[in-house]
Structure 1
Amino acid sequence: MTDEDGDLMTAEATAEASQIWSQLLNEAQAASATEPCLASYYHGAVLNHRDLPASLSFHLANKLDSHAVPAMMLREVIAGAYCEEPRMISAAIADMKAYYERDPACDQYLMPFLYFKGFQAVQSYRVANYLWRQERKTLALYFQNQISQEFGVDIHPAASLGKGIMIDHATGVVIGETAVIHNDVSMLHSVTLGGSGCEGGKRHPTVCEGVLISAGAKVLGNICIGRQAKIGAGSVVLSSVPAHTTVAGVPAKPVGASSGRPALDMDQQLDDCCD
């Protein structure tokens, strides 16, 4: 996972984290008052914590809890990762904003934070990726397994994901070991970024900035999906896709230009296609 800000949060990023945290507190307080049955949940997950890293580490640890590695131990691991690499919090904020800005069903930051398994799976992956890069590979693989079981999303800890990632609904998403996803990418449920062949080395796709991968699409092999391209629902993509191009079908073929900003517009229709 790469980030141009490096391992230290800038003053601007710190201010943004404080702003988002204040927003989460306000939303959780209002939700707690509106639905008393969930008051203890909102307090335990959000309101009782000092900041966003503390709240997120608590929430993810409880999601990934097991008899083998209890939540308290997982929370220490996650909090330690955030302390060592604060850029993961910046990425989490960018991911939350992606849901808020791209999903018409999402009108609060609290929704992806507490309830959207695509967001939670990606944040848990970020910790697994940190562990993988620290050579704690067995624990990273344990995280991968727990993420798959809890969220129905299988992301190899060695994969590289940018920020501003939105995985809508998320069930059945698979992202392989050598996959690379750049910033501001959107995908939907049942998407596969899979390998081709059994040789080593780079064997999974690279997805460039601003790409939309629609529901059920399979993108296979060491290919590149160019900037702001659009992959039609149910497509099987076996060769590289040029930037600003829409592809669809089995196997996928170019069917027109991808106008606008596919990842941000979230429009899975193919009305920009040629006759």
Structure 2
Amino acid sequence: MAKLEIVPEADGLELWRQLRASAEAAVREEPQLGSQMNAVILSHDDLAGALSFQIARKLADGEMGAMSVREVCLSAYAADPAIVAAAEADLRAVAERDPAIRNLLQPFLYFKGFQALQGWRVAHWLWTQGRETLAFHFQSRISELFQLDIHPGARMGKGLFLDHGTGIVIGETAVVGDNVSMLHNVTLGGTGAERGDRHPKIGKGVLLGAGAKVLGNIEVGDYAKVASGSVLLKPVPSGCTVAGVPARVVGCPTAAEPARTMDHTLADVVYDFVI
């Protein structure tokens, strides 16, 4: 399929137009996919309709059918339009930060990180409404299907990029700011000793490298960077890069917006203090 122009700063209507164009191009190239493209995307009037259908066809099981899952999604979107706005921002984030993307069809239909995140957004809405059992059902299905385990009680912003997604674990009291990027096998967990508020607080624009483990009720400041494979147990100042086991500061300041540039390189200078 020829690569279609992607405009990361597009508004919701333009994103929807681009997604439909990608689906139409897919049908022309692979007619066997025509039924799928029509059911999931082309038969709907907007992103909310298509997204609810996609989540429903993925999360449905013997206990809860697709129609029931879709009704829950549509109820969430109607009650809180910010959920769809966050999904649009997530889609723009993938378009902006993933060099492998060919068109918006890829994340919408095939990228685990994006799909799991959209399912979690509905689960989180259920959690805020006191519907904890159904929220846990969504969490369980997302974990089974996509190999991501995000507690419905966690709080996460918009414009998130969960690259690859496999193995990501985010605990109940974790907070993730806007425009964060994280790769596979990232853990935002507790130390195993605390109760109550026990998970990390990740600032806006943070980049979390593959396999990074951030443990405990600690703050990672805005636009910080946690290198791949690091184990972080102490707070990180805004704009700093940390690396190692245990993690220590290896550079301040880091790139202005590491989550957007996806720059995983480390500074040549090694600091002689730990955090």
Whether TM-score is above 0.5 comes out as yes
Is the 8 Å Cα contact of residues 187 and 212 (structure 1) preserved in structure 2?
yes
2:270 to 251, 260, 274: 274
Letter in 1 for 2:236: V
2:258 equivalent to 1:265:
no
Summarize deviations over 1:212-245 as a string: whole Å, max 9, x none.
0000010000000001111011000000000111
Please list every run of 5 or more consecutive structure 2 residues that lacks an aligned counterpart in the other structure. 1-9
Partner residue in 2 for 1:124: 119
1:56 corresponds in structure 2 to: 51
Matched, 1:185 2:180: yes
Deviation at 1:21, TM superposition (A): 1.1
Separation in structure 1 between the aligned mates of residue 256 and residue 28 of structure 2, nearest angstrom:
41
Cα-to-partner distance string for 1:84-113 (whole Å, 9 max, x where unaligned)? 111101000000000000011113222111
Q: 1:102-138: CA deviations, max 9, x gaps? A: 0111132221111111011111000000000100000
Is contact 2:250-2:267 (8 Å) kept?
A: no
Deviant stretches of 4+, over 4 Å = none
Residue aligned with 1:219, SS: strand
Q: How far apart are 1:198 and its partner, in Å?
A: 4.0
- 2:77 equivalent in structure 1: 82
Quote how far apart the aligned CAs of 1:22 are. Answer: 1.4
Shift of the alpha carbon at 1:202?
Answer: 1.1
One-letter amino acid of the counterpart of residue 267, structure 1: D
Q: Tell me how far 1:181 sits from its aligned partner.
A: 0.2
Q: Distance in 2 between matches of 1:158 and 1:209?
A: 19
1:207 to 202, 206, 209: 202
Following superposition, the deviation at residue 24 of structure 1 comes to 1.0
Amino acid at match of 1:266: M
How high is the sequence identity, in percent, across the aligned residues?
52
Q: State the distance in 2 between where 1:197 and 1:191 align.
A: 17
Which blocks of at least 5 consecutive residues in structure 1 are unaligned? 1-14
Structure-1 residue corresponding to 2:214? 219
Aligned 1:1-275 pairs, distance under 5 A: 16-257=11-252, 258-271=254-267, 273-274=269-270
Contact 1:246/1:273 (8 A) holds in 2: no
| Aligned residue pair count | 261
Superposition deviation, residue 20 in structure 1: 1.3
Q: Deviations over 1:158-206 (max 9, x none)?
A: 0000000000000000000000000000000000000124433210000
